[in-house]
Amino acid sequence: MIQKNITPPHWPLMLLRFFVKKEYAEEIEGDMEEIFYDNIEQHSIRKAKRIYTWETLKLLRPALIKNLKALQYFNQFNMFGNYFKTSLRSLMKNPTSSFINIFGLSMAVGICVLWFGFASWVNDTDQFHERKDEVYLVTFFADLEGKEQQFGTTPTPLGEMLQQDYPQIKKVCRVKDASVVVKHEDNVFHERIRYVDPEFLQLFTFPLKWGSVNSLKDLNSIMLSEKMSIKYFGGENPLGKSIKVIFSESNSKEFAVAGVAKKLPESHSVSFDFLIHFDNQKVASPMYNTSDWNSFVNATLIQADNPSDIALIQQGMNKYKILQNEKHSERAISNFGFVSLAELYKKSMDIRDGICPPYYESNTKAVLILGVITLFLLALACFNYINIAIVTAAKRLKEIGVRKVIGATRIKVITQFLSENIFVTSFALLFGLLFGIFLFIPGFEQINGFSMGFKLAQPKLWIFLIGILFVTGMISGLYPALYISRFEVVNILKGSSKFGKQNPLNKILLGFQLILACILITCAVMFTQNTDYVAERPWGYNQSEALYAEVHNQLAYEQLNAAMAQNSNVTSIAGSVNHIGKNHATTIVKLPPIKEYEVQQLAVDANYFSTMQLTLIKGRAFNQHPEADKQAIIVNEEFVKTLGWPEPIGQQLEIDSMRYEVIGVVKNFHSYTFDSKMQPVIFKVANKADYRFISLRVRNGSERETYATLQTQWNKLFPEIPFQGSYQEDVWGGFFEKIKNHGRFFQAVALITILLT
């Protein structure tokens, strides 16, 4: 029998009602329904619905469907053909203005394509991992300088305990990063290595070039990224070859290459250079204890099939929180949290010490800024187009008049202008796409030093482009079309229509175009000036004519010192534990009775101030005799300001329950880039055994020569260890390069703006 609640599928029914001729609708609909209910008795409901849908589609025959309006439009094909012809003619007639129009629009479209490429590069990051929605990073929240902060690291034992306690967790992977030296034949380099559980490659589905995912289970296996494979082995397949990993001076191990990852998609945040089994940490440091709550791993990842499982696990996390806070009281955990791999990159700016590299943080902002610039340029191109279109249309008034006389309605004239416009815009779109692919994207990639892996074959791009086509076509064409179609035939043919003068809106549009152009050009000038300003801004010490190198122990320092001291170009040498621009220690300074301050501490020797040319504004530097100033510190101005001392010299402080006396104040200096805030800094006398840096002041003009000598000396003394040092000017890495690049980008935008206007 008929069940009331089962009805034919909805959308085919709608289709049927829409397309089939009215006079046949009742009969055919009834037939279809009768057959449908017959079918339900014979087949499953799903099959009956499928048959119904299929039959509906087969109903769409010329004999049965309505004469749709759209079909009638085919009669107007000639009309559109004529529009096409007239638009081509008017384009050819005014080659200069058509060129400016099309060129301007295509520039703007090119920038749009660039923006799209960049935005999709940012948004697609890490989305290629197959289990991105099932894999979660375990994080914790703790207090950091009075604010709750999310951390991406995890206590080492947590991963194992979670797996034991929750059957819902299918896989757990701990990740621990370390710096090691990797050696294969003559290639010796400092590298970052990842100790991981064998599940790593099942959670992060990096495609492999050679080898198998399971080979990580072997303690003696090592997995390489493609980049590293090429660095050490060239293009050949390195499977089975051996690589020596030197963990420390006394510990090293030979590994066999068991796999090489394929080149990663351009948009990734989590990556690796080398992977070895987690248990190899015991080889690196025999004391390593996986149940020590005081030690942390860089990341713990878990895989759970259901998001609801994560909620369940979240509720049980209190147990571990108590365990952790008992053992490790320094930084009390307030809660644990989970972040899915799919969202990890987007949230990486909130997570401290996460496995996502931090420099991706600025990208969301960059997409926004670039988006605004894109919109500005597009608007500029549209206004430009409108203004030119109105002027050139003056020459076509007669044509419009004649069309109107023949019987064209106002709507027809509007349609004509809009379709012409879409036609011109599609030209611009084509050129814009070419500009984007061959000029803007490669230029942008070169300026910023990355590759966004732009692909043409993605449906989103084409939807985006068609969207742009219609939006710009409509925006730029609507006003001219409305404006031009409004003229009275009689006035046109009499020749009494005056053009463009009496209309205030035209003036507003022109003014707006100029304002937009001014804004963009001002931005560019400001950026360029800023670049120049930053380049000449003082660092607070003399960063030029200075070199530094990292040393691995005291002996290395002594040897290098002895070798370089004979060089006549070297005027001063200093040893230190920390080095400006490279690193510092964070220390708590106590001002009895209760005040505490977190400061940056640099442990240096007496020569450091003269070598780096830090300016002492009060007091004195350290005494040459290392024991003399064991209880003395030198501070920077910021420190004095933070503590609010009128007279800093002679003040007493406590660090690690030792008393210290302030003996000198140095001028403020920028440790890291200008972006980071000025921090209070203290200098202490370094213990000779802890020296990790050597700094040299050299004679003006001899930087290159001395740097080369330094490298040669190093290679002679320590052929096994790669040299790590540079000019002090380069200590901020690509900072200046980056600033300069921003300037260059804005200059390019300004150039396009000028071209558009």
Partner 1 sequence: MKKTKLGEFEELVLLAVAALQQDAYGVEIKRELEERLNETLSVGSIQSALKRMEEKGFLTSAFGEATLKRGGKRKRIYSTTSLAHKVLREMKDIRAGLWSAMPKLSHQLKVTFN
DSSP 662-701: EEEEE----SS-TTSPP--EEEEEPPGGG--EEEEEE-TT
Query: Considering the rule CB under 8 A, would residue 55 count as an interface residue with partner 1?
Result: yes
- Identified binder of partner 1 from the candidate list 9, 15, 19, 35, rule CB under 8 A: 35
* Residues in Cβ contact with 730 at an 8 Å cutoff, skipping those fewer than 6 apart: none
Candidate segments 61-69, 206-214, 216-224, 651-659, binder of partner 1 by CB under 8 A = 61-69
Candidate segments 28-36, 269-277, 602-610, 688-696, binder of partner 1 by CB under 8 A = 28-36
**H helix runs in 60-94, sequence order:** 69-72, 77-93
Candidate segments 31-39, 353-361, 440-448, 604-612, binder of partner 1 by CB under 8 A = 31-39
Cα distances from 651 to residues 606, 624, 648, 661, in angstroms, run 20, 22, 6, 6
Tell me the closest approach of the beta carbon of residue 483 to partner 1, in angstroms.
50
Tell me the closest approach of the beta carbon of residue 343 to partner 1, in angstroms.
49
Please, which of residues 301-320 interact with partner 1 by CB under 8 A? none
Query: Considering the rule CB under 8 A, would residue 31 count as an interface residue with partner 1?
Result: yes
The answer to whether 253 and 247 are in contact (CB under 8 A) is: yes
Query: Considering the rule CB under 8 A, would residue 30 count as an interface residue with partner 1?
Result: yes
Tell me the closest approach of the beta carbon of residue 68 to partner 1, in angstroms.
17
- Identified binder of partner 1 from the candidate list 6, 17, 18, 27, rule CB under 8 A: 27
- Identified binder of partner 1 from the candidate list 6, 14, 17, 26, rule CB under 8 A: 26
The answer to whether 429 and 420 are in contact (CB under 8 A) is: no
Q: How many helices (H) does the chain have, and how many strands (E)?
A: 25, 25
- Identified binder of partner 1 from the candidate list 15, 19, 33, 727, rule CB under 8 A: 33
Candidate segments 20-28, 225-233, 347-355, 423-431, binder of partner 1 by CB under 8 A = 20-28
Tell me the closest approach of the beta carbon of residue 36 to partner 1, in angstroms.
9
Nearer to partner 1, 40 or 301 (CB): 40
Question: Which conformational region is residue 462 in: left (phi greater than 0), alpha (psi within -120 to 50 degrees), or beta?
Answer: alpha
Q: Which residues pair with 588 in a beta bridge?
A: 598
Cis peptide before 593 (omega within 30 of 0): yes
Nearer to partner 1, 22 or 58 (CB): 58
Nearer to partner 1, 3 or 586 (CB): 3
- Identified binder of partner 1 from the candidate list 6, 14, 60, 508, rule CB under 8 A: 60
Query: Considering the rule CB under 8 A, would residue 6 count as an interface residue with partner 1?
Result: no
Tell me the closest approach of the beta carbon of residue 441 to partner 1, in angstroms.
50
Candidate segments 26-34, 336-344, 614-622, 675-683, binder of partner 1 by CB under 8 A = 26-34
Residues 597, 600, 606: CA angle, nearest 5 degrees: 120
Torsion angles phi and psi, residue 182, rounded to 5? -110, 135
Candidate segments 23-31, 255-263, 540-548, 695-703, binder of partner 1 by CB under 8 A = 23-31
Tell me the closest approach of the beta carbon of residue 5 to partner 1, in angstroms.
13
Tell me the closest approach of the beta carbon of residue 10 to partner 1, in angstroms.
14
* Closest C-alpha among 387, 406, 401, 419 to residue 86: 419
Which tokens go with 648? 């800093």
Tell me the closest approach of the beta carbon of residue 119 to partner 1, in angstroms.
46
| Block residue for tokens 């031009």 | 484
Query: Considering the rule CB under 8 A, would residue 461 count as an interface residue with partner 1?
Result: no
Tell me the closest approach of the beta carbon of residue 32 to partner 1, in angstroms.
6
Query: Considering the rule CB under 8 A, would residue 19 count as an interface residue with partner 1?
Result: no
Query: 3-class SS at 393?
Result: helix
The answer to whether 597 and 610 are in contact (CB under 8 A) is: no
Count of residues of this chain found to bind partner 1 when the rule CB under 8 A is applied: 22
Amino acid identity of 354? G
Nearer to partner 1, 41 or 596 (CB): 41
Candidate segments 27-35, 184-192, 325-333, 739-747, binder of partner 1 by CB under 8 A = 27-35
Candidate segments 29-37, 542-550, 568-576, 699-707, binder of partner 1 by CB under 8 A = 29-37
Tell me the closest approach of the beta carbon of residue 72 to partner 1, in angstroms.
21
- What are the contacts of 368-373 at 24+ separation with CB within 8 A? 370/114, 370/115, 370/118, 370/119, 371/115, 371/119, 373/111, 373/115, 373/520, 373/749
| DSSP letter, residue 569 | T
Candidate segments 54-62, 136-144, 375-383, 564-572, binder of partner 1 by CB under 8 A = 54-62
- Identified binder of partner 1 from the candidate list 48, 59, 333, 665, rule CB under 8 A: 59
DSSP 590-655: EETTTEEEEEEEEEE-TTHHHHHTPPEEEE----SSTTTTTTEEEEEHHHHHHHT-S--TT-EEEE
Cα separation of 544 and 366, whole Å?
32
| DSSP letter, residue 148 | E
Query: Considering the rule CB under 8 A, would residue 63 count as an interface residue with partner 1?
Result: yes
The answer to whether 756 and 104 are in contact (CB under 8 A) is: yes
Query: Considering the rule CB under 8 A, would residue 658 count as an interface residue with partner 1?
Result: no
Cα separation of 417 and 489, whole Å?
17
Candidate segments 62-70, 194-202, 289-297, 718-726, binder of partner 1 by CB under 8 A = 62-70
Query: Considering the rule CB under 8 A, would residue 24 count as an interface residue with partner 1?
Result: yes
- Identified binder of partner 1 from the candidate list 9, 15, 53, 64, rule CB under 8 A: 64
Candidate segments 25-33, 176-184, 420-428, 635-643, binder of partner 1 by CB under 8 A = 25-33
3-state secondary structure 445-474: HHHHCCCCCCCCCCHHHHHHHHHHHHHHHH
Cα separation of 89 and 85, whole Å?
6
Which tokens go with 671? 């440790």
Query: Considering the rule CB under 8 A, would residue 42 count as an interface residue with partner 1?
Result: no
**Helix, strand, coil shares of the chain as percentages rounded to 5?**
50, 20, 30
Q: Which residues of 131-143 are buried (b: 16+ CB within 10 A; e: fewer)?
A: bbebbbbbbbebe
Tell me the closest approach of the beta carbon of residue 46 to partner 1, in angstroms.
18
Nearer to partner 1, 32 or 433 (CB): 32
Query: Considering the rule CB under 8 A, would residue 32 count as an interface residue with partner 1?
Result: yes
Candidate segments 60-68, 101-109, 559-567, 672-680, binder of partner 1 by CB under 8 A = 60-68
Tell me the closest approach of the beta carbon of residue 8 to partner 1, in angstroms.
9
Nearer to partner 1, 56 or 303 (CB): 56
Tell me the closest approach of the beta carbon of residue 54 to partner 1, in angstroms.
8
- Identified binder of partner 1 from the candidate list 6, 17, 18, 34, rule CB under 8 A: 34
* Closest C-alpha among 128, 124, 127, 132 to residue 303: 132
Binding site for partner 1 (CB under 8 A): 2, 24, 26-35, 37-38, 55, 58-64
